[in-house]
Structure 1
Amino acid sequence: MDLRTSSDRSSDLGHLYSFIHQLHSLKVIPPPPPVSVTRMAFEITPFRSLTILKVDCVPLSQVSGLVRVQQQLEKVSVQRSLNTLRELLIDSVEERRTQQPPEAKGSLTDSWRLIATAKFTTNR
């Protein structure tokens, strides 16, 4: 029998969100079989302090929220996930531009201004 109260659960959820908001590094990988990754979506928007992002074996189209974190990323690694670099470097910038008011639109490099390390090996 679970004796925890609703406020205990709310507190636990608050601690979880706090942890997620403070996390600096995230690696997105597919779940182990038999779960299929083809219909899964990975939302990275809640990771507000993210500076390192690694995506491995997950189609980048299934990682949503990239436009919200790309300006704070310092290191990015995308492996076995891209068909073209355009999916990451250009398409996400174009998506960002459609979400911003016209006066806030910056250049392509503004979207990736803090990147110090980028790794795109073993993609198609």
Structure 2
Amino acid sequence: MALWFTSPQLGNRRDVQITNFQTNQKYTEYTIDICLDDIRWQVKKRYSEFADFHEELIKHIPTIDAKSLPPKKLLNNNSPDFIHRRRLALDNYLKYLFQFFTINSLQLPECFVNFLDFHLYEVHGIVRKLAEELFLNGDKILSAPGKKPFSISPLQMHAITRRIKLAEPPCDSNDPAKDLSHILDFLCHVKYVQIIGSPDNFGTSTIKTQFLSFDVSFFKSVEELILDCVQTSQITGIDNLKKTVRHLSIHRSLTSIR
């Protein structure tokens, strides 16, 4: 599972590279390959998106070199030679940012997280995104009539399980809406839950959610639990649910639960 530590860890792998590009008559789109430990994913961005991102980034962190992004070119910006040089320059720009945040042990700003899809594939980004969603909608979900189950993925459950074990404060951003405690409070009260995985890779990444481990002991009030396409042998904390769960449904999953 992808995990970015603010302070570099021994053996922790962080790589970013522009591996390809596609050009049409209007613009060129660059394929960015991100690697954290054993997880890889891809993001595609145009130069205009780089420019918007860079403008926002230097507002948040003025110590970043404002000239590190290659400048905009108005004419002949689709020539093969120019695209090749811009690709190399953008590649160096991303490597510079990775090195900058690593050397300075800085928390990744939200614009960086969103630009490179950390909110989809990296533990902190996933948890912050879910925390904000539940901060805004958690009470509405809990008070909704009927028994419609709250749907959560093994990826989100795995990220919560990993995040809670880290020696870090529950809120690792400047936005209190992204506090881990919003998730834990919601999971403590939700009664109907379905955890649905997939045998396919998640998004553009190498993550297979079906095989991720996670803990379900966060659910303190759950009465109905549906497990679909998960590796049940990887689930821990199931004994904690025996006092509350009235119905457990398992689909497309192994049947050994500990």
Give CA deviations for 1:17-66 in whole Å, capped at 9, x if unaligned: 21111011111111574221364112110111111111111121012111
1:44 partnered with 2:211: no
Task: Provide the aligned length of Structure 1 versus Structure 2.
Answer: 86
Matched residue, 1:73: 245
Percent of pairs identical after alignment?
26
Residues in 2 aligned to 1:77 and 1:6: alpha-carbon distance in whole angstroms: 37
Greater RCO, CA 8 A, separation 6+ = 1
4+ residue runs over 6 A deviation: none
Matched residue, 2:192: 25
| 2:243 match: secondary structure | helix
Residues in 2 aligned to 1:37 and 1:48: alpha-carbon distance in whole angstroms: 24
| Superposition TM-score, scaled by structure 2 size | 0.28
Q: Provide structure 2 residue ranges, at least 5 long, that are not aligned to the other structure.
A: 1-59, 61-108, 110-171, 202-206
| 1:71 match: secondary structure | coil
1:14 partnered with 2:197: no
Matched residue, 1:57: 229
| Superposition TM-score, scaled by structure 1 size | 0.54
Any conservation in 1 of the 2:220–2:241 contact (CA below 8 Å)?
A: yes
Q: CA deviation at 1:82?
A: 3.0
